[in-house]
Structure 1
Amino acid sequence: MSVMPPVLRPPAPRRPKAKAKAKTDGPSAFPGRARQRWLRPLSPRTDLGTAALVAAVVAVLAQIPLLTNRFFYLWDDSAAEFLPVWHRIGQDLLAGHWNPLVPDMWNGGNLAAEALFGIWNPLVLLDAVLTAGSGDLLVAAIIIKTQFLVILTVGVYAVCREYRAGRAAAAVVAVALPFSGFTLYFDAASWIAGLMGFAWTTHFWWSARRYMRGRLNPAVPILFGLMIVTTGNPYGLLGMVVVAIALATESLAAGDRRAVGRLGAVSAVAVSASALVFLPLVLSAGVTTRSPASGIMNTGFLVPGVGDLLNMSAPAYLPHSVSWHMSFWTVPATYLAWFIAPLVPWLDWRRVVRRPRGRIGVGLVAVVYTAATVGPSQIWLFRWPLRLIEYAYLGLCVIVALALTGTPRTDQARRRAAATAVIIVIGGYLSWSAQPAQAVTVIVATALVGTLSWLMVRRLRSGRPLARLLVAGTVAVLGFQAMAFPDNRNVTDWHPQHDVASMRSHFDDLYQGNTMIVGDPLTEANRLGRRQVWHDLPGGSLLQVAGVKSLNNYTGISYRTYMRHLCMSYYGGTCQSLYSRLWRPDSDSPEKLADLLRLETVVLQTPRHLQDVLNPPAVPGKPQDKPLTFPTGWEVRRLDDHTMILHREQALPWPDGRVSYTAPGLQVRADRVGGDGVGETIRYTGAGEVRVAALLWPGWRATVDGRSVRLEGTDVGIMKVVLPPAAPGGSVLRLSFRPPGFRLGQGTALLGFLGGLAVVLLWYRRRRRLAVSALDADTSDRRSSTDS
């Protein structure tokens, strides 16, 4: 049988393609692949490359605020509390110690109960070592803040990509969110614990969702969840819970109950560490001014309005709200990104709601946090709703990224352009009406947004790439805000000394031993100038950096009796009447208060020129003020316009310990603090009362020759022990500290570790089973093909 050769047919002539007519009246204006690339991805073509580029861009942009204010990241709480305490923690770690309590820091030394210092978080501990090793608080602050801004931007990008937003769209919002008003001016500049919790929440979101889809090892969301919990920021923990609820809602809507179970497992493992982190705070509340039973109230403090949120694209809008020092915010706290509102008329919002079941969690996060942002000023431990605005903006940014991924709407282009113009004008007017004195700033900001929006509209109508313009606009607006609003004057500018070596050389001989500052540095700073006053009277916990054992420290959980007895504020300022009370017997002791506290240096901040205090001028018709007197046994070591320093002439007994008073009939033979600076060993004979100059935080334990004895607190809050009669050769009192709830926290953390290990092993087992099933199916198909 012959086989006919195939017929070779000449190829048909190609018809010339007609040139497509450009359209500007609908989504089809972007033909072919251009319809999917109107935003145009940035140079990298992979997620890893784009994330790296975004991280590099944000790391560079984070330095822009420093061009107009070099102390931008060493501001308010960061200067007064976080960096000084991290410096102390880092010093202890470098010396081989890890202490949940630093008794020498008094009211600011309960690191476990404060929680916000992140003493259980490995990255925070590394940052503490960096702070101690850098030798400069300012350098450490810049590095740490930049680090967490980068972590945040990568997390935002990953969340957007997890919801199938385009790479360019995800990159645009990922660059914008870290420089939104609250995140930059409050969290990054001051409240670093909030930034840490927020940054890790974004990573928990994308990793937990990807794990629920079976695309990621459960160890990853467990790790990010633990990073959230161990930062010690309750808002981060709240964010993890809200995100978990949103993801569970998505899975239930999709009918995937097994995914909810998987999410519950990894969330439970992460939350298992919360007892270790937060129980000391809850169980210490009885002696602090921070009560967990605060209830629900609304004083309007740091509560933005709905209208404030609608001005999220107005770079110069300064909302009115109850806050510190002023009746309005001195920075654009509710600003998000310049392009979001002007882009609203051009985006195809149908893409966002096209798959509602898979994206319901995004809307839930945005709605819940928006409602909370404009809610009561305090609910239980959570206060100041402005802190929640960045979580609401996170959900909104994901929605915007999804809308940006789709093809824009260019039909009725003139009407859309007019709508954009109206949005910009309204934002400018509201910015001016909120602060008429800022007219020039508002005009410049409105013109800047208007120019950027004009360029954006031109590119939209011509189908040209937009991503680089949106990022460039973010850079331009950030530069403008750095010049117009270089600092946040609603919070405290401590003008901190930041060079550790110079601070130590300055205070080496000036302040010796336990040091008490009498007076309020904030009051004197307003009179004499902050740099002059705070050179000798650093605010908050800054004296810790100089190696001074200061009794004045910044704290968020003030020890109630100590603070009231010394009329001390949360940042360490005191009333002037404390000076005379130091030299009188205390209310529940025959000893002077200065001796009970083992003071060796007293720094008196005078309310007026010292010569007027020493020799009050006679005023006709007014009683003569009593001249200031000096206590016996103390000498004046320095005298100037605003500071007087007294030093104890004779050394205190038991220089290696903390004993400050012994009753008649009790003899202390030796007193020594342990090498870690916490525990103490006291050898004695006789019997009676002994007082130890350290605050009686919950968690202290006392034993005499191995038997527990009761610890009591004095009126000022220091420890008091009534010792039983000593053994013939003398007895030993041992003081030790363990955070309250530590054993329970250890137990839950251990259960969490075992549970996490089980989750990971089950995941590997399931993957192996699926791989074997797939291999068997492939082998069966091959056999069937061979047989046929």
Structure 2
Amino acid sequence: MSAPASTASDRDVQPPVSERIPALRREAVAMALVAVFTVTVSLLPLAFNRQFYFFADTPDGAYGQWYELGQQLAAGNWPLMNPAAWMAGNYVAEGQWGLWNPLILATGLFVSASANAVVASTVIKVFFLAVGATGVYALTRVYGARREWAIVAGIAAPFAGFTFFMDAPSWVTNMITWAFFAWAAAALRLWITRGAAWILAVYVAVYLLITVGYVQGTLMLVFFFIALLLEAAFRRDGTAAVRTLVAGVPAALIALAVYLPGVLTASVTARSSEIANDGFLVVTLTGLFTSSVPSGQVDLTGWWGRYTDVPLLYIFWLLPLLAVVPWSRVRQGWAKWSTLVLFGGMAAALAVGPSTLGPLRFPARTMPWVALVVICLTCLLLSRAEGKWVLSRVRVLTVGVLWAAPFWLAFSQVPPGWRRHLVFAAVTGAALLGIVLLRRARHGARKRTVAVIAATGIVVVGIQSAMFADSLVSRAPYEDEASAYTEGMPTGYGEGMVVGSPLGMPESVFDEVEFANMWYLTDRVNVLNLYTPVEYQAMAQDLCLAYDGRTCPDAVDKIFDTDPETGAVVADLMSLDSVQILEDDVRDIDDLIALTPPAGWTRSFVGQHSVVWTRDVPTGEVGSVSWTSPGTEVEVIEDTPLQTTFRVTAVPADGGRVALSRLAWPGYQVDGADLAAPLRGYLTSVDVPADATGSLITVAFAPPAWPLIVGGMLGSALFTAAAAVFAVRRRRRRVARP
């Protein structure tokens, strides 16, 4: 798999088939070893925390999202819109639902059919860690590393701190795009150096990465394309530049299809457009300097305070060994691997940049890509210097200094962790010393070195798991079994809303309420308090509703307030049937019992921490007609997630107005009437003409610029196919020339 540097003399040169097949077999065996190692070692934290891979944003967001996606697919639906999810229901605008991604769709089906939420999440995450590990192996091989050193890169990358202690347990979409990125970068390198059908591999990898819908991964891919073009410019390599641009066309079309709905919907959401820096999750240089310390609890301000609870900026304990690489090899390497160097520089610049760059937040999210580049370059340099390591006293002493200084800095930042640092200093110091001694002995040194590195990696992850795994505890006490979430709101039915926040309350409150996207698992009631990264600003402000479903206590007054424009109660306009009110710092359960339900509602449940009010007479379906102006009468004919059709049976001479219990997302069109300004700033409304009696009116949703979106997806595939045919024919003509 190793590719030569891109030059006019060696580009597109392929070894004969008789050599390629055995080589591919050896590569497959090596990848299998990397995958098996990754799967095995990634299970070590489970010995100390069975919910290690079911932490924070996974149960709050991703798991329930996967479950709902699987349920919809199993029912034969490809869900673009869910009115009952309200702020979280514009799935195509959120992007992160992965509606275009076959592996994400398969993940949804797998999760919805799995009985144990923790086991299902663990299987998914370990699978993608293995995908990323083998991708890093492939990338390192493509850039010229020996097989043994590519294996080292592959087994090290998944266990870098941010990937293993943040993305894998919590921010799974960041991890998935990281896993696909290595494959996309490797495929791009092969396409540029070899041409032909490698453009198909580029398309598959890029498609899988972008259609996850997580902008961080797509941004990293853009950075890599920029780095490729810069390298081509430095080398004055026109063919490489053209091939990079050719590969960029389908990537741009896919990105257009995935992100355009969100861009065209941004006007009603709470997405930021400012540039600011409050230091939140901004990587510090002192933190980066301790990246070889597996126990470094570094200076990185986040939800935990100033210093991290886990080694988030750890990259690789082997980094001090770079001191033995001859400088001549370093100079030669930078020229050959300039794309990786440029890309790594851009990723690092973003990691230490402002905390907010428009919609981009949390710069530390870039660390998995920084770690990937550092690990790849480390293994490439050590591989290139194979047999040429400088093991003089000065160089070995330098290794010692580079090993000891980061440990001292890590101790200085969090002195109470000195015992942890001593343990890891002993383990990594012994391993580095062992490698140096093996290299001086020379006989069988390469394979034995890899064995020492692999063994040390197992020990490091095992000790990290023992020390840190149990510190990952979610905000809510989530159960393992999926069936534990089916009951949901006690006595609730129809469309429901929770007032208050269960966070910070006694754990027994979760016997009565769920949180965030785990509401998708409930059977009786559709609760709108779901997790969403975009929100709908007018609704969030009106109902005091947060991105993860929490509300302020006053929300109960807001939903039973009378709308001044229509004279209707807000709960009626939203077609709410159930409302659960939680205790808070001011009101205890006795205060909640003392509250009198509005007319037409009954207190149907009194628990230890909450009460539930349910409507005496159910309303219509969410998304349907919820109010008509005086003199206007309609009959609902059809109501689906994407459209509502009603017949006008009466309308005044000056026309009428109809409101629907749907958020007024951009993309709604009306046939037979006119779309009106949203009621209360967020409820879809229709102006009915005076002559509409007896006519049908259809309110239908399609993502903004939907034909362009579909065309972008189709165009990316057709362009790639055409490019592949052209490249293959061009190679055949070149080979056929005398």
Pair 1:275–1:513, CA change in 2 (3 A)? same
Report the alpha carbon displacement of residue 351 of structure 1 after superposing the two structures with TM: 2.2
* Equivalent residue number for residue 755 of structure 1: 719
Determine whether 1:332 maps to 2:311: yes
Select 2:574's aligned residue among 597, 607, 618: 597
Which amino acid counterpart does residue 515 of structure 2 have in structure 1? G
* Equivalent residue number for residue 26 of structure 1: none
Q: Distance in 1 between matches of 2:644 and 2:150?
A: 55
| Alpha carbons 2:647, 2:695 under 8 Å: kept | yes
Report the alpha carbon displacement of residue 516 of structure 1 after superposing the two structures with TM: 0.6
| Alpha carbons 1:157, 1:170 under 8 Å: kept | yes
Report the alpha carbon displacement of residue 248 of structure 1 after superposing the two structures with TM: 2.8
Report the alpha carbon displacement of residue 137 of structure 1 after superposing the two structures with TM: 2.5
Report the alpha carbon displacement of residue 437 of structure 1 after superposing the two structures with TM: 2.5
Pair 1:581–1:235, CA change in 2 (3 A)? closer
Determine whether 1:212 maps to 2:189: no
* Equivalent residue number for residue 167 of structure 1: 147
Report the alpha carbon displacement of residue 477 of structure 1 after superposing the two structures with TM: 0.9
Pair 1:710–1:388, CA change in 2 (3 A)? same
SS at 1:89 equivalent? helix
Q: Which moved more, 1:170-179 or 1:238-247?
A: 238-247
| Alpha carbons 1:254, 1:358 under 8 Å: kept | no
Q: Distance in 2 between matches of 1:73 and 1:94?
A: 25
Which amino acid counterpart does residue 569 of structure 1 have in structure 2? A
| Alpha carbons 2:196, 2:728 under 8 Å: kept | no
Q: Distance in 2 between matches of 1:407 and 1:500?
A: 51
Select 1:679's aligned residue among 637, 640, 643: 643
Provide Cα deviations, 1:738-760, integer angstroms capped at 9, x if missing partner.
11122222233333333222201
Q: Distance in 2 between matches of 1:277 and 1:681?
A: 29
Determine whether 1:360 maps to 2:338: yes
Report the alpha carbon displacement of residue 540 of structure 1 after superposing the two structures with TM: 1.1
Pair 1:270–1:55, CA change in 2 (3 A)? same
Pair 1:588–1:81, CA change in 2 (3 A)? farther
| Alpha carbons 2:277, 2:356 under 8 Å: kept | yes
SS at 1:486 equivalent? helix
Q: Distance in 2 between matches of 1:425 and 1:500?
A: 47
Report the alpha carbon displacement of residue 336 of structure 1 after superposing the two structures with TM: 0.7
SS at 2:329 equivalent? coil
| Alpha carbons 2:494, 2:576 under 8 Å: kept | yes
Q: Distance in 1 between matches of 2:494 and 2:307?
A: 42
Q: Distance in 1 between matches of 2:720 and 2:25?
A: 35
Pair 1:690–1:215, CA change in 2 (3 A)? closer
Report the alpha carbon displacement of residue 327 of structure 1 after superposing the two structures with TM: 2.3
Q: Distance in 2 between matches of 1:756 and 1:484?
A: 48
Select 1:499's aligned residue among 481, 484, 497: 481
* Equivalent residue number for residue 607 of structure 1: 584
* Equivalent residue number for residue 350 of structure 2: 372
Provide Cα deviations, 1:552-602, integer angstroms capped at 9, x if missing partner.
111110100110111111111001111223323124331112212211111
* Equivalent residue number for residue 264 of structure 1: 245
Report the alpha carbon displacement of residue 533 of structure 1 after superposing the two structures with TM: 2.4
* Equivalent residue number for residue 565 of structure 2: 588
Which amino acid counterpart does residue 522 of structure 2 have in structure 1? A
Report the alpha carbon displacement of residue 458 of structure 1 after superposing the two structures with TM: 2.7
Report the alpha carbon displacement of residue 357 of structure 1 after superposing the two structures with TM: 3.5
| Alpha carbons 1:194, 1:233 under 8 Å: kept | yes
* Equivalent residue number for residue 370 of structure 2: 392
| Alpha carbons 1:410, 1:461 under 8 Å: kept | no
Which amino acid counterpart does residue 77 of structure 1 have in structure 2? D
| Alpha carbons 2:496, 2:527 under 8 Å: kept | yes
Determine whether 1:554 maps to 2:527: no
Select 2:406's aligned residue among 420, 427, 449: 427
* Equivalent residue number for residue 541 of structure 1: 517
Determine whether 1:182 maps to 2:148: no
Q: Distance in 2 between matches of 1:117 and 1:386?
A: 23
Q: Which moved more, 1:567-576 or 1:429-438?
A: 429-438
Which amino acid counterpart does residue 664 of structure 1 have in structure 2? P
Which amino acid counterpart does residue 72 of structure 1 have in structure 2? F
| Alpha carbons 1:107, 1:555 under 8 Å: kept | yes
Q: Distance in 2 between matches of 1:54 and 1:67?
A: 22
* Equivalent residue number for residue 723 of structure 1: 688
Select 1:482's aligned residue among 465, 479, 490: 465
| Alpha carbons 1:319, 1:328 under 8 Å: kept | yes
* Equivalent residue number for residue 700 of structure 1: 668
Which amino acid counterpart does residue 736 of structure 1 have in structure 2? A
Which amino acid counterpart does residue 153 of structure 1 have in structure 2? A
Q: How high is the TM-score relative to the length of structure 2? A: 0.91
Report the alpha carbon displacement of residue 407 of structure 1 after superposing the two structures with TM: 2.9
* Equivalent residue number for residue 94 of structure 1: 74
Which amino acid counterpart does residue 589 of structure 1 have in structure 2? T
Determine whether 1:233 maps to 2:214: yes
Pair 1:655–1:419, CA change in 2 (3 A)? closer
Which amino acid counterpart does residue 160 of structure 1 have in structure 2? T
Give unmatched runs, 5+ long, in structure 2. 1-22
Pairs within 5 Å for 1:761-772: 761-772=725-736
Provide Cα deviations, 1:211-268, integer angstroms capped at 9, x if missing partner.
1112551111122122222111222222222222222333344443112112211111
Q: How high is the TM-score relative to the length of structure 1? A: 0.85
* Equivalent residue number for residue 12 of structure 2: none
Select 1:436's aligned residue among 411, 415, 422: 415
Which amino acid counterpart does residue 586 of structure 1 have in structure 2? D
How much identity, in percent, do the aligned residues show?
Answer: 28
SS at 1:713 equivalent? strand
| Alpha carbons 1:320, 1:329 under 8 Å: kept | yes
Report the alpha carbon displacement of residue 93 of structure 1 after superposing the two structures with TM: 1.0
Report the alpha carbon displacement of residue 360 of structure 1 after superposing the two structures with TM: 1.5
Q: Distance in 2 between matches of 1:75 and 1:587?
A: 43
Pair 1:518–1:720, CA change in 2 (3 A)? same
Q: Distance in 2 between matches of 1:611 and 1:670?
A: 40
| Alpha carbons 1:154, 1:174 under 8 Å: kept | yes
Report the alpha carbon displacement of residue 196 of structure 1 after superposing the two structures with TM: 1.8
Select the structure of larger CA radius of gyration: 1
Q: Distance in 1 between matches of 2:490 and 2:341?
A: 60
| Alpha carbons 2:270, 2:535 under 8 Å: kept | yes
Report the alpha carbon displacement of residue 368 of structure 1 after superposing the two structures with TM: 2.1
| Alpha carbons 2:280, 2:355 under 8 Å: kept | yes
What is the alpha-carbon root mean square deviation over aligned residues?
A: 2.3
Determine whether 1:115 maps to 2:95: yes
Report the alpha carbon displacement of residue 716 of structure 1 after superposing the two structures with TM: 5.7
Provide Cα deviations, 1:268-311, integer angstroms capped at 9, x if missing partner.
112111111111111111101104x32x3222111111121111
Q: Which moved more, 1:511-520 or 1:455-464?
A: 455-464
Report the alpha carbon displacement of residue 409 of structure 1 after superposing the two structures with TM: 6.0
Give unmatched runs, 5+ long, in structure 1. 1-42, 616-626, 778-788
Q: How many residues align?
A: 704
Which amino acid counterpart does residue 703 of structure 1 have in structure 2? D
Pairs within 5 Å for 1:647-662: 647-652=614-619, 654=620, 658-662=624-628
Q: Which moved more, 1:354-363 or 1:186-195?
A: 354-363
Q: Distance in 1 between matches of 2:228 and 2:588?
A: 64
Which amino acid counterpart does residue 477 of structure 1 have in structure 2? V
* Equivalent residue number for residue 173 of structure 2: 193
SS at 2:599 equivalent? coil
SS at 1:301 equivalent? coil
Q: Distance in 1 between matches of 2:202 and 2:390?
A: 43
